[in-house]
């Protein structure tokens, strides 16, 4: 009787204490749920909340997903995002996950899962916005369109083809950092030493090589006539700068028809290439003498191109050095080039030093640098684009490298200015190419020019190049298209 009573009592205690004696009662743990004789009880998951970016925010580049969380938990993100580590342990009540959105323009849903060591799970969703496709890249210095280029390109001077390998190395380097749009700068006198005559064969051969290499890497190329609205008739057959007889297009010796003629030839040469992104009609026209001259020249060039190519976008720089800050204070306010294909992209250039000159030969404080001076200088141009429903492009921008004795204007604070500037452009759908990079900047004797973003050892094509200081910020805003 005593033994039987003990057994009976034990059974009653066990049944009454099932929630505590989980193993004795035959409970199991599956996905954070404990099962008791067929029923389930949820183990509480951790509490967490997203702080930044807030819901519905447009996220143009690499951001940190931050928030508060319960101690001991781990927060994991998934969905239309990518990053090197999309999971973070809760530290001091907070978490931070670097990420960027993927896919096309529109809303993106991120799934966030908080987990505890005991199996508790909390799942939430967070919706953010992806801006329209964004192109990011650089002005790439190649042999193709400058006076020294023939000495780098032609087999007479490079019989083993080392410069071809260096061009390909440059492309691999910048593509790996998300800079997939290449603006190639051409001196008009080099590619066409005599107005109205054939294009220089070696420059065309070089350009086709660059385009082919870009296509193989999924990169895009802009062909830029880098002549400031001018042409030097006496240019020594394209091998040297004429200088004294440089004339504004439209002056005697350089008729207005010349810009249409050169672009007819260039469009005929390159229009079918899959890597071609745009024709850039003229770099930084300025002091043209007549506010109606540059719009007329740009219209002539556009009309000429469209007789050959109705597909490729055409970039039209603003007058007055294409200043983004001063865009609405001069003739650019009324710039409106007619394109039957409706593929005009207007171009500004924006630097953050005094007068936006891009010299950076004084200190950050002397220039009155601020974290938002780049945004402030871009805003007139961006707001003009929005007012007219136009597409825009910033063809040149840049900051000097900090902590480089050879760059007196270098200051780490410029990197914050650059970050805010690129965030603003990307959020507003404006493409951009930084000034400037390419192994030739190193070999051509300007390794420490403020604008040089090429690794110092680029000419040796290293397997593990050392990035310049600006690159960490540039990489945050890669091309997505």
pTM recorded for the entire structure: 0.81
For residue 191, the enclosing domain spans 136-474
The answer as to whether 9 is a domain residue is no
The answer as to whether 39 is a domain residue is no
CATH number at residue 105: 2.60.40.10
Query: Given 68, 99, 130, which residue is the final one in a domain?
Result: 130
pLDDT recorded at residue 31: 38
Query: Given 99, 130, 161, which residue is the final one in a domain?
Result: 130
In this structure, the answer to whether residues 53 and 168 fall within a common structural domain is no
> Could you count the other beta carbons within 10 Å of the beta carbon of residue 214?
26
The answer as to whether 26 is a domain residue is no
In this structure, the answer to whether residues 62 and 184 fall within a common structural domain is no
3-state secondary structure 49-109: EEEECCCCCECCCCEEEEEEECCCCEEEEEECEECCCCEEECECCEEEEEEEECCCCEEEE
pLDDT recorded at residue 41: 56
In this structure, the answer to whether residues 415 and 266 fall within a common structural domain is yes
Query: Given 101, 130, 159, which residue is the final one in a domain?
Result: 130
3-state class of 346 per DSSP? strand
In this structure, the answer to whether residues 219 and 106 fall within a common structural domain is no
The answer as to whether 335 is a domain residue is yes
* 139 band by pLDDT with thresholds 50, 70 and 90: very high
In this structure, the answer to whether residues 256 and 152 fall within a common structural domain is yes
The answer as to whether 21 is a domain residue is no
* 240 band by pLDDT with thresholds 50, 70 and 90: low
Q: Tell me the torsion sign for CA atoms 184, 190, 195, 199.
A: negative
Among 154-163, 275-284, 421-430, whose mean pLDDT is lowest?
A: 154-163
The answer as to whether 276 is a domain residue is yes
Among 285, 246, 247, 279, smallest CA distance to 263 is for: 279
In this structure, the answer to whether residues 207 and 115 fall within a common structural domain is no
The answer as to whether 420 is a domain residue is yes
Angle at 302 between CA 301 and CA 307, to 5 degrees: 100
In this structure, the answer to whether residues 223 and 336 fall within a common structural domain is yes
CATH number at residue 460: 3.20.20.80
- In angstroms, the CA 176 to CA 180 distance is 9
How many residues does the structure list for the chain?
Answer: 481
Q: Output the CA–CA distances (angstroms, integers) from residue 440 to 21, 55, 120, 372, in the order listed.
A: 75, 45, 58, 32
- In angstroms, the CA 211 to CA 217 distance is 10
In this structure, the answer to whether residues 180 and 80 fall within a common structural domain is no
pLDDT per residue as tens digits for the range 363-417 = 999 989 999 999 999 999 999 999 999 999 999 999 999 988 888 889 999 999 9
Range 357-361 average pLDDT = 86
Range 298-307 average pLDDT = 98
Percent of the chain clearing pLDDT 70 (strictly above): 89
Number of domains in the chain: 2
């Amino acid at each position: 009787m005593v033994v039987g009573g003990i057994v009976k009592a034990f059974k009653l205690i066990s049944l009454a204490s099932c929630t505590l004696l989980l193993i004795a009662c035959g409970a199991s743990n599956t996905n954070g749920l404990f099962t008791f004789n067929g029923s389930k009880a949820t183990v509480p998951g951790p509490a967490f909340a997203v702080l930044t970016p807030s819901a519905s925010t447009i996220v143009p580049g690499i951001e940190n997903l931050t928030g508060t969380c319960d101690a001991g938990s781990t927060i994991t993100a998934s969905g239309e995002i990518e990053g090197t580590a999309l999971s973070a342990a809760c530290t001091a009540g907070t978490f931070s996950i670097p990420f960027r959105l993927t896919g096309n323009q529109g809303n993106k849903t991120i799934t966030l899962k908080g987990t505890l060591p005991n199996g508790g799970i909390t799942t939430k969703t967070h919706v953010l916005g992806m801006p329209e496709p964004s192109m990011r890249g650089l002005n790439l210095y190649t042999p193709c369109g400058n006076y020294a280029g023939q000495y780098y390109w032609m087999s007479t001077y490079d019989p083993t083809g080392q410069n071809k390998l260096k061009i390909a190395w440059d492309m691999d380097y910048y593509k790996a950092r998300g800079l997939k749009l290449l603006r190639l700068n051409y001196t008009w006198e080099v590619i066409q030493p005599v107005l109205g005559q054939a294009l220089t064969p070696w420059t065309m051969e070089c350009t086709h090589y660059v385009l082919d290499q870009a296509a193989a890497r999924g990169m895009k190329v802009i062909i830029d006539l880098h002549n400031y609205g001018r042409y030097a008739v006496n240019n020594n057959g394209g091998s040297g700068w004429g200088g004294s007889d440089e004339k504004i297009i439209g002056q005697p010796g350089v008729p207005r028809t010349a810009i249409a003629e050169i672009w007819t030839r260039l469009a005929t040469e390159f229009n079918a290439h899959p890597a071609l992104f745009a024709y850039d009609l003229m770099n930084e026209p300025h002091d043209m003498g007549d506010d109606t001259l540059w719009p007329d020249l740009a219209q002539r060039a556009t009309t000429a191109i469209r007789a050959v190519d109705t597909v490729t976008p055409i970039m039209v720089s603003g007058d007055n050095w294409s200043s983004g800050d001063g865009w609405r204070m001069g003739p650019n306010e009324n710039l409106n080039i007619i394109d039957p294909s409706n593929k005009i992209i207007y171009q500004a250039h924006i630097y953050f030093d005094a007068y936006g000159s891009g010299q950076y030969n004084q200190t950050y404080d002397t220039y009155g640098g601020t974290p938002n001076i780049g945004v402030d200088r871009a805003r007139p141009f961006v707001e003009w684009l929005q007012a007219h429903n136009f597409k825009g492009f910033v063809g040149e921008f840049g900051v000097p490298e900090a902590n480089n004795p050879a760059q007196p204007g270098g200051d780490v604070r410029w990197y914050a200015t650059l970050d805010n500037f690129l965030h603003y452009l990307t959020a507003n759908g404006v493409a951009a190419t930084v000034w400037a990079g390419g192994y030739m900047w190193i070999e051509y004797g300007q390794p420490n020019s403020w604008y040089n973003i090429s690794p110092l050892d680029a000419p040796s094509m290293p397997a593990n190049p050392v990035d310049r200081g600006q690159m960490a910020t540039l990489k945050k805003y890669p091309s997505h298209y």
